[in-house]
Structure 1
Amino acid sequence: EYQRDNTCFSFVEVLSTCPTNWGMSPDEADKWLETDMMPYYPLGIFKQPEAPRAD
């Protein structure tokens, strides 16, 4: 929305698994992502403009 309206820069970060490279089953990799990766890379909006810019 912000990017479309040209009010600010938007960045989307994605957390993903690689069970083959990690030597885990897909279920183990999902669990590891939840217990180990998500606390280190918390999800959410970190900075949001207070009001849209007037052009």
Structure 2
Amino acid sequence: MAIHTGLQLYNCPHCPKECRSRSNMYVHIKQRHADEWLRAKMARSHNPQFKPADV
């Protein structure tokens, strides 16, 4: 368990920030790197992995 060992498991791809939880990293990226977060979100919405026609 990372909480008891103090390990920082999630590294920000945009800066040296490290977090223990994925949710904390998500909040960090959304707040501190809003432009990069928005670009990634738009890229995902224009290139969806799942298509309803595939069902």
TM-score normalised per structure 1: 0.26
More strand per residue: 1 or 2? 2
TM-score normalised per structure 2: 0.26
Higher RCO, Cα 8 Å, sep 6+: 1
